[in-house]
């Protein structure tokens, strides 16, 4: 999986960064991708990364503030011009469907694909979709308007294939190898059943990726972030400005680090920085968080993060 930070700023774009948008590219062979938030000019940012709108399958909107939403109508329209014909589903708070339908009605916009809008009303953490090896949960955060965080959970996959062991069990190289690699049990001509566990070394651990919307400190942030391989958390203000951050429904760098530490996350990426901070000051914000949670990065626009699977060997 790869994550592209298309916009890392809060409130409005500035010369350092665009407003909120994050793309998550799923594994090959399909390499489809999902989008988390769609601030103004997100489709312009996409011109600088190797992602095609025709491969976009899902959009997860955290809340209806403009810096997370104003780029959505244009991007949905452009997807038709870029060859997008497959269905696309947009998830987000109540009012999202009305926003899209009203904008399209007033502008006469027509799409060449099926658009499904699923509004979230859950008051607790809940599963909202399952797509192949990934399922997504959402939960309400603490902000000035209804706002959600999202947790992507990938299932484990069979570990490295041991061809020699398969041959020793009588499996002929060819399609049967492929079925075993895909996690499917096979039956040989003599009736012997060979399971993937017999010819693979453990498993590739499924990744957990949490993307939180704007939030003040809350229990749901910890729940959605539990044991995440990657936590993307807003850090609108520097440490020491907690009162100001909470006034506007946000967090500081220190508070983001506390969530990562106490939730048992493996890695923290901070984003949604106030325009008062230049890119040169991000190192200082990163250092503040690192005092609490060392494995932290302050995201910059158009940066990419490769999220690797972890191999769990078979017990010996």
Domain span(s) for CATH 3.60.15.10 in the chain:
2-156+205-312
Q: Which helix (H) or strand (E) holds 139?
A: strand 134-140
Residue 202 pLDDT: 87
Q: Is domain 2-156+205-312 in CATH 3.60.15.10, yes or no?
A: yes
Q: What is the per-residue pLDDT for 316?
A: 54
Low-confidence ranges of the chain (pLDDT < 50): none
Q: Which residues are annotated as a binding site for Zn(2+)?
A: 63, 65, 67-68, 143, 214, 272
How confident is the model at residue 157, as a pLDDT? 87
- Residue 122's pLDDT is 79
pTM of the predicted model, to two decimals? 0.92
Residues in the chain: 316
Can 82 be counted among the known catalytic residues? no
Annotated binding-site members: 63, 65, 67-68, 143, 214, 272
Give the per-residue pLDDT at 205.
94
- Which of 30, 37, 67, 306 is flagged as catalytic? 67
Distance CA 49, CA 2 (A): 11
Q: What is the pLDDT of residue 246?
A: 98
């Amino acid at each position: 999986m790869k994550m592209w930070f298309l916009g890392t700023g809060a409130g409005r774009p500035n010369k350092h960064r665009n407003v909120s948008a994050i793309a998550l590219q799923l594994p090959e062979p399909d390499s489809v991708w999902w989008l988390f938030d769609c601030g103004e000019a997100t489709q312009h940012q996409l011109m600088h990364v190797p992602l095609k709108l025709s491969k976009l399958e899902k959009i997860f909107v955290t809340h209806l503030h403009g810096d997370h939403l104003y780029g959505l109508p244009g991007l949905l329209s452009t997807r038709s011009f870029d060859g997008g014909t497959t269905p696309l589903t947009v998830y987000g708070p109540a009012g999202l469907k009305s926003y899209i339908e009203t904008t399209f009605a007033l502008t006469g916009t027509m799409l060449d694909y099926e658009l499904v809008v699923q509004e979230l009303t859950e008051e607790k953490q809940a599963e909202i979709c399952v797509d192949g090896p990934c399922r997504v949960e959402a939960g309400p955060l603490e902000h000035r308007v209804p706002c959600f965080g999202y947790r992507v959970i990938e299932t484990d996959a069979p570990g490295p294939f041991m061809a020699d062991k398969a041959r020793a069990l009588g499996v002929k190289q060819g399609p049967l190898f492929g079925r075993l690699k895909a996690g499917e049990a096979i039956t040989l001509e003599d009736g012997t059943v060979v399971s993937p566990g017999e010819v693979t070394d453990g498993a590739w651990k499924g990744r957990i990726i949490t993307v939180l919307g704007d939030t003040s400190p809350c229990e749901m942030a910890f729940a959605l972030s539990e044991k995440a391989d990657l936590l993307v958390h807003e850090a609108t203000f520097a440490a020491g400005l907690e009162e100001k951050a909470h006034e506007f429904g946000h967090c500081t760098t220190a508070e983001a680090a506390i969530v990562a530490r106490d939730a048992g996350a493996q890695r923290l990426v901070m984003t949604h920085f106030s325009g008062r901070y230049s890119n040169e000051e991000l190192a200082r914000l990163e250092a503040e968080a690192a005092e609490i949670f060392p494995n932290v990065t302050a995201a910059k626009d158009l940066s990419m993060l490769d999220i690797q699977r972890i191999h769990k060997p078979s017990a010996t």
